[in-house]
Amino acid sequence: GQQLNQSPQSMFIQEGEDVSMNCTSSSIFNTWLWYKQEPGEGPVLLIALYKAGELTSNGRLTAQFGITRKDSFLNISASIPSDVGIYFCAGQRNNNDMRFGAGTRLTVKP
């Protein structure tokens, strides 16, 4: 299936630092989504983006849908220890065709 390239694979940061991760694809998607997964749990939806160029915030999280519709980024500002987890991007072409990146594992040192 179509792969999404998500980077970086992992990040080790100090509490209070800002974080940026991104996702690229060779194909166009109609929707981009960002999920967070904590150990032993299922992913939880953080932000959904529906329109090219859209910039959306959810608290300290900000995500953008790239103009080309082939990429998206997620920023987390002023990280805190509970931000720890794996963040996944997902691109969706239609209701039943959602592709996931391999994830960015975030570690926050207090």
- Burial, 81: exposed, middle or buried (Cβ in 10 Å; 0-12, 13-18, 19+)? exposed
Nearest-CA neighbor of 86 among 6, 4, 1?
A: 6
48 binds another protein (CB under 8 A): yes
Question: x/- binding map, residues 66-95, to another protein, per CB under 8 A?
Answer: ----------------------x---x--x
Pick from 33, 25, 32: nearest CA to 1: 25
Chosen residue from 19, 25, 43, 71 binding another protein by CB under 8 A = 43
What character string, x for contact with another protein (CB under 8 A) and - otherwise, covers 4-23?
Answer: x-x--x--------------
